[in-house]
Each structure stands twice: as structure tokens, then as C-alpha cells.
């Protein structure tokens, strides 16, 4: 029986051999076949310790690989992927700013590896991510602010109205795609939309998009739009929105202006228990004020409550 174990954390197969009632590490490998072959060769060797010293480093995929790049006039134009071993243009690789170099794996291989790793270690990844976010709220805010700034520069957004219009255009584009594949999905109910997400037919949260922003297309399992069941469901949803807005208005002295930075700080500090940055701009944009747009001394008229919240 070979001593080959799968390391969940690092996504590797570890090969060991028992010598004098102790487990000696042989090496780590990407697949089980290589690990078992290394174990068999080490066991067949007359001196296993000597075999490990001579072969362990060279048989590790990560240690034996050498970067293969094509450089023209001091500029890298292509590179061989670490995983698929195919020479690809340098545009197919991510650039690591902190390290000052390109990723060893191409974008497609890296995306496949990360998705498989997340499926195998979903609980650990979620726990680790939540732990880091809870311990580094300032870094989370800075990363999100940087992402939004780069997105605005890429889309040419300068004002709040342009940002909302870009968001609506993005939602409309997703909805047009859903309408184009309606024959494959069927009725836009929660069950059908969830099946489309799980099977990979759509790569975004279609249930939330259709239910919140396009309720005229949404069909509940127990009732169709316009029925008493539908109206009662929408009324409960509206009541939740009103309760959230009432909570925000009651905490306004602690939050300050309803801008992105203050709402994020209020959420991470526990003043409000939900993501107001996503809730307020979409459902109540009249209450959302950007710090850069508001001028000192301007009297902003308080808008009417709960107008057109559907």
C-alpha cells in the first residue's frame, strides 16, 4: 500500500515512505500517478534516503520548471504556460504588479485551476475570505474604491448620473441576453433561473436581476404577475425596503452624509446590518449624495418618502 495522500490546502498529492517506523517525505506532485510512481521507485531503490536526496527536487513539477519566454528588443512578446506547456502571446498572462513579472500560468489555465480549487475547498476559502475581510476593513474599502475608480476611468464615467446610467445599461444588456435564451430557460421563475445559473447557461445572478429590476418578467412558482400571491409578495418586499430606509434615516447622525465611503464604514463598523451602498442608490437615488457633488451651504430639499419604490 503506497503512502500517497491528497493535500487539500495546496491541491497536491504527497508521497511518503515508511523507514524505521517513521514517514519520510518523498515529494509533492500534481497527479496521483506521478506520486505513486515516485513511491514505487523509492521503495525499489536499495538506499531510499539517497534516492530521495537525488530525485526529490528534480521530480517536483514546481522546482523542475524553468521560465521560457521570448524576448524581442528587451520586451517579452510570448511565454510558455506552466500548466498547459503551450507558447502563448504575453497578453494571455496576467501581470503581477507587486512582483513586477507575469503570471506563470495563462489566464485560461489559471481560471480553470481556481474554479476547481474553489469547488474542492469551498468552505475553507469562504472562511478564510470572511476572516480576512473582518480583520482588514480598511484594505477592503481601499480595494473597492480603487476598483470603482478604475471602472469609471475605463467607462469614461465622471458624474453620479453617468454611473447610474452605466449601471442601468449593464442590467439592460444582461436582461436582453436572458430574453434571447428564453426558449432554453422557460418561464422566468426562481427555479428555472437557478437551473440556468447552475448549468452555466448564465454567468451572473439572474434571479436577483430579474426579480428586483425587471419584476414585469418575473413569475413566481405559486402565482403569476398580477395575482393576489404576487401582490402580497411584492408588498412584503416593499415593507422590507421601507424598514431598511427607516433604519438608515434613524442612524443618519452616526453615518453622516449618505455617500459611498460613509455607508461602507457604517456597514463594517456594525452601525447598519446590510450593504446600504447597493440598496440606497438603486431604490432611493434621491437620498444618495456624493461628497464631491454636495457644496457647502447648499440646502437640499428633503424628497418625499417611498415614491415609486417598486
User: Domain locations in the chain?
Assistant: 3-64, 69-120, 155-219, 229-287
Q: What is the pLDDT of residue 66?
A: 61
Burial 77-110, CB ≥16 within 10 A → b, else e? ebbbbbbeeeebebebbeeeeeeeebbbbbeebb
Q: What is the pLDDT of residue 309?
A: 35
CA distances from 138 to 189, 269, 272 (A): 39, 11, 17
CA distance 111 to 106: 9
Q: What's the CA angle centered on 268, arms 262 and 270, to 5 degrees?
A: 100
Q: What is the pLDDT of residue 93?
A: 92
59 CB neighbour count, 10 Å cutoff: 21
Q: Is the pLDDT of residue 242 over 50?
A: yes
128 CB neighbour count, 10 Å cutoff: 11
Q: Is the pLDDT of residue 62 over 50?
A: no
| pTM confidence score | 0.41
Q: Could you tell me where the beta strands, DSSP code E, fall in 38-107?
A: 69-72, 75-80, 87-89, 95-96, 101-102
Q: What is the pLDDT of residue 290?
A: 47
**Residues ≥6 apart with Cβ < 8 Å to 268:** 137, 140, 141
Q: Could you tell me where the beta strands, DSSP code E, fall in 108-161?
A: none
Q: To the nearest whole percent, how much of the chain has pLDDT over 90?
A: 3
Average pLDDT over the chain reads 78
Which option is the CATH number for 69-120: 3.40.50.300, 3.30.60.130, 1.10.10.10, 1.20.1250.20?
3.30.60.130
Q: Is the pLDDT of residue 6 over 60?
A: yes
12 CB neighbour count, 10 Å cutoff: 19
Q: Is the pLDDT of residue 245 over 60?
A: yes
pLDDT tens digits, one per residue of 63-93? 445 667 888 887 888 888 888 878 889 889 9
Q: What is the pLDDT of residue 285?
A: 67
Q: Quick one: average pLDDT of 241-255? A: 86
Report the C-alpha dihedral over residues 158, 159, 164, 170, rounded to 10 degrees. -10
pLDDT band per the 50, 70, 90 thresholds, residue 310: very low
CA distance 238 to 283: 10
Among the listed ranges 22-31, 149-158, 165-174, 258-267, which one has the minimum average pLDDT value?
22-31
Residue by residue, DSSP assigns 258-287 as -SHHHHHHHHHTTSSSS-HHHHHHHH-GGG
CA distances from 304 to 284, 301, 308 (A): 11, 9, 10
Q: Which residue has the cell 538506499?
A: 47
pLDDT tens digits, one per residue of 102-133? 888 889 888 888 888 888 888 888 888 889 98
Amino acid at each position: 500500500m503506497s503512502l500517497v495522500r491528497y493535500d487539500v490546502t495546496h491541491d497536491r498529492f504527497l508521497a511518503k515512505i515508511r523507514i524505521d517506523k517513521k514517514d519520510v517525505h518523498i515529494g509533492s506532485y500534481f497527479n496521483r500517478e506521478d506520486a505513486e510512481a515516485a513511491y514505487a521507485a523509492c521503495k525499489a531503490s536499495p538506499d531510499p534516503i539517497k534516492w530521495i536526496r537525488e530525485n526529490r527536487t528534480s521530480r517536483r513539477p514546481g522546482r523542475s520548471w524553468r521560465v521560457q519566454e521570448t524576448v524581442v528588443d528587451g520586451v517579452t512578446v510570448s511565454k510558455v504556460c506552466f500548466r498547459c506547456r503551450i507558447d502563448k502571446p504575453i497578453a494571455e498572462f496576467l501581470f503581477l504588479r507587486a512582483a513586477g513579472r507575469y503570471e506563470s500560468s495563462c489566464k485560461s489555465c489559471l481560471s480553470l485551476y481556481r474554479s476547481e480549487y474553489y469547488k474542492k475547498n469551498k468552505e475553507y476559502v469562504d472562511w478564510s475570505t470572511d476572516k480576512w475581510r473582518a480583520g482588514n476593513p480598511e484594505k477592503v474599502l481601499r480595494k473597492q474604491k480603487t476598483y470603482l475608480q478604475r471602472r469609471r476611468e475605463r467607462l469614461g464615467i465622471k458624474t453620479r448620473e453617468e454611473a447610474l446610467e452605466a449601471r442601468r445599461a449593464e442590467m439592460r444588456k444582461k436582461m436582453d441576453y436572458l430574453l434571447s435564451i428564453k426558449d432554453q430557460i422557460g418561464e422566468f421563475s426562481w427555479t428555472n433561473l437557478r437551473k440556468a445559473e447552475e448549468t452555466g447557461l448564465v454567468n451572473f445572478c439572474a434571479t436577483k436581476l430579474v426579480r428586483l429590476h425587471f419584476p414585469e418578467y418575473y413569475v413566481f412558482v405559486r402565482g403569476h404577475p398580477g395575482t393576489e400571491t404576487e401582490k402580497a409578495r411584492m408588498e412584503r418586499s416593499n415593507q422590507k425596503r421601507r424598514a431598511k430606509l427607516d433604519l438608515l434615516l434613524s442612524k443618519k447622525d452616526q453615518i453622516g452624509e449618505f455617500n459611498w465611503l460613509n455607508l461602507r464604514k457604517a456597514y463594517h463598523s456594525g452601525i447598519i446590518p446590510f450593504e446600504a451602498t447597493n440598496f440606497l442608490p438603486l431604490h432611493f437615488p434621491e437620498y444618495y449624495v456624493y461628497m464631491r457633488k454636495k457644496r457647502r451651504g447648499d440646502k437640499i430639499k428633503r424628497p418625499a418618502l417611498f415614491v415609486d419604490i417598486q
